[in-house]
Amino acid sequence: MPRLQPLTVTDERAKLDAWVRRPKTAQRLALRSRIVLAAAAGQSNTAIAAALRVTLPTVGKWRQRFLDRRLDGLNDGPRPGPPRTITDAHVEDVVTRTLESKPANATHWSTRGMAKATGLSQTAVSRIRRVLGLQPHRHEAFKFSRPTRPSWRRSGTWSGCTSTRRTGPSS
């Protein structure tokens, strides 16, 4: 059985602890941090795998990655597939135009109008809005329309709202 290299975390311990404790950390990164912290505490790969309910190759992989590349080794590498075509600058442009400007002769940006203005497809604009929860067609607060009769303000009730005419079948 090959001898395990000792794992020491000095400067990185605070960052690893923060990744483990922070609720918004991706769970895979938190698990990798737990593996490294357990290895630094002197536990064997078998004990770490049993405690964290992962396989031995998983523990060995992240332990070795940490030894090779330190904290950077715990992050995900690039995934297979084509590179992104919509950059962060495109997303930022759509968001700022949606929130901070209005098109000519309209109350808000439509997906087609925004697509034409930014050079993206209508589907791309729609996806960006959906992911970020942007709904430019909705107002922030409901607005009451003003009553048509000024007598409402004086009496506190709608004047002329009660009708003597029957609308349903007579009984």
pLDDT digits 0-9 by tens, 131-157: 888 888 775 554 455 555 554 445 444
Same domain for 93 and 65: no
Is 107 part of any domain?
A: yes
Does residue 70 form part of some domain? yes
Q: Are residues 51 and 21 in the same domain?
A: yes
Positions of the chain with pLDDT under 70: 1-6, 139-171
> How many separate domains does the chain show?
2
64 within a domain of the structure (yes/no): yes
Whole-number pLDDT of residue 46: 93
Res 59: pLDDT? 93
Sign of CA dihedral 103, 107, 111, 113: negative
Q: What is the pTM of this model?
A: 0.48
17 and 57 housed in the same domain: yes
**Whole-number pLDDT of residue 147:** 52
Distance from C-alpha of 137 to C-alpha of 126, rounded to nearest angstrom = 13
Residue 42 lies in a domain: yes
CB 45 within 8 A of CB 65: no
Which domain, by its residues, includes 23?
A: 13-74
Q: What confidence score (pLDDT) does residue 98 get? A: 86
40 domain residue, yes or no = yes
Are residues 59 and 107 both part of a single domain?
A: no
